[in-house]
Amino acid sequence: MPETWSTWTVAAVVAGVFLYGFSKTGIPGAGSVASPLLALAIGPTTASGFVMPLLLVGDLFALARYRQHADWRLILRLVPGVLAGIALTAVLFRVLDVHTLARLVGVLLLASAGLEVWRRRRPRPRPDGEGRHRVAAGFFGVLAGMTTMAANSGGAPMQLYLLNMRVSMLSFMGTFAWFFFLINAIKVPIVVGLGFLDLGTLRADLLFLPAVVAGALVGYATFSRIDERVFTNAALVLSALAAAWLVVHG
């Protein structure tokens, strides 16, 4: 963690943590804005350990409200692709640096977001069978695994996957909540083993805990009032912004 905390650093971290809490219970894409904000404020490596306990707190708030609405079939379909994406990234790290790999994933995500916008603007009958679902789950699962490894953020691929599946808002939130609770729980021993999460980090987390709680509570209120079209458009726009960030900054 930073040895000294400037006013700007504290403000940026509070804003980022608040957005993480809000993204868990309100509009998931808001977390895509929080990731680069925290990376700029305290560095990407420090941020990856610092946010983990706070993300789990946000996940618990999300599960408290939306857990019964999850579509487990969609989650289970993602698992093979996520594991493949993590393994592929580990291999690609031997020939590509992390920034190049993140930019590659960003290009694929940006193209996927553009394709989803095109599909929604030009509605037409499309195949809706098991084969198409498995292809989409494989593609976005691989991207989620790669993004989690290369850029510590799998939110954008998951959002695009759920939008592609045309799930309801409640199913979107429940599925998103369970998927990332499980992913974040699995990542805890990894970040501890890498030395990114220690007692000093946990003490800093306690100071910023009210921000993630406040964000989650505001998210509850926002979700109960938001129109489905606004929710969908916000998820698309924020996914595209997250992809563009990866393309530009890696």
Residue 107 pLDDT: 85
Alpha-helix runs per DSSP H in the chain: 7-25, 30-42, 44-66, 72-92, 98-121, 130-151, 155-164, 169-193, 199-223, 228-249
pLDDT, tens digit, 9 for 90 and up, residues 54-89? 999 999 999 999 999 999 999 999 888 888 887 887
pLDDT, tens digit, 9 for 90 and up, residues 152-180? 566 788 888 888 888 899 999 999 999 98
Residue 205 pLDDT: 93
pLDDT, tens digit, 9 for 90 and up, residues 24-35? 999 887 887 787
Backbone phi and psi for residue 209, each to the nearest 5 degrees, phi listed first: -55, -40
pLDDT, tens digit, 9 for 90 and up, residues 6-25? 888 999 999 999 999 999 99
Domain regions of the chain by residue span: 7-249
pLDDT above 60 (res 126): no
From 44-53, 208-217, 225-234, the region with the lowest mean pLDDT? 44-53
Average pLDDT in the chain? 84
Residue 189 pLDDT: 86
- For the record, the structure tokens of 119 come out as 């599909």
Regarding predicted confidence, which is higher, 208 or 89? Answer: 208
Sign of the C-alpha dihedral, residues 102, 60, 46, 193?
A: negative
